[in-house]
């Protein structure tokens, strides 16, 4: 009788040891309201990917997940922390649920980009699970300068400095 009791745990242990390891991606981070987090992955034709996002905070959060087949050049989040409607024309797949989930099957070999956005009720901590390896991608946000304003300010400030120096001499 004791032999039968020992066989079942031993079989379970062997199955656990010999089971193939699950390759994928798991990432946890904190995100503020109105902020985006980007990931990228390369997929071949016919390859599929599953991405699941879970928030850890209490309450009603507003996470969204978007998939792009081209590198996004802007965040599509307005200053008032709402979505720019143009994102729905650019994204090839999206999920607006609180804990978004995407399944995608690639029709061509290329790099695909995921954008996770927290729109309301932040900050919060989230977990991203994927069955494929993801790489964190940082959208370069470089503020531009108004060249007309800069062109007017340089001579104006230079002139004021020359006048001030003349008064001192």
Spans of all domains in the chain: 23-160
Q: Mind listing the pLDDT tens digit for each residue in 33-74?
A: 888 889 999 999 999 999 998 887 766 667 889 999 998 888
- If one compares 66 and 6, the residue with the highest pLDDT of the two is 66
How far apart CA 81 and CA 35 sit, in angstroms, is 8
Residue 11's region, left for phi above 0, alpha for psi from -120 to 50, else beta, is alpha
Phi/psi at 64 (5° precision): -135, 150
**CATH number assigned to the domain with residue range 23-160, chosen from the 4 options 2.60.120.380, 3.30.800.10, 3.40.50.970, 1.10.10.10:** 2.60.120.380
d(CA 50, CA 104): 7
pLDDT in the model for residue 20: 45
E strands, 123-167, in order: 124-130, 135-137
Integer Cα distance of 106 and 119 in angstroms: 28
Q: What does pTM read for this prediction?
A: 0.68
For residue 23, pLDDT beyond 70: no
In angstroms, the CA 106 to CA 62 distance is: 27
CB 47 within 8 A of CB 107: no
Q: What residues form DSSP beta bridges with 129?
A: 26, 52
What is residue 98's DSSP assignment?
Answer: S
Residue that is written with structure tokens 């004791």 in the block: 2
pLDDT for the residue numbered 21: 43
If you average pLDDT over residues 125-149, what whole number do you get? 77
d(CA 16, CA 148): 67
Q: What is the pLDDT of residue 88?
A: 92
């Amino acid at each position: 009788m004791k032999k039968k009791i020992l066989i079942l745990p031993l079989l379970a242990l062997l199955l656990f040891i010999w089971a193939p390891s699950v390759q994928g991606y798991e990432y946890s981070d904190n995100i503020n309201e109105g902020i985006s987090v980007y990931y990228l992955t390369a997929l071949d034709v016919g390859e599929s990917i599953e991405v699941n996002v879970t928030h850890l905070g209490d309450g009603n959060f507003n996470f969204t997940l978007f998939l792009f087949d081209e590198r996004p050049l802007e965040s599509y989040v307005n200053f008032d922390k709402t979505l720019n409607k143009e994102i729905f024309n650019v994204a090839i797949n999206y999920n607006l649920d609180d804990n978004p989930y995407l399944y995608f099957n690639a029709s061509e070999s290329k790099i695909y980009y995921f954008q996770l956005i927290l729109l309301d009720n932040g900050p919060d901590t989230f977990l991203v699970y994927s069955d494929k390896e993801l790489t964190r991608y940082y959208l370069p946000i470089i503020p531009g300068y108004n060249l007309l304003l800069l062109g007017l300010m340089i001579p104006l400030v230079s002139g004021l400095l020359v006048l001030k120096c003349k008064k001192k001499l």
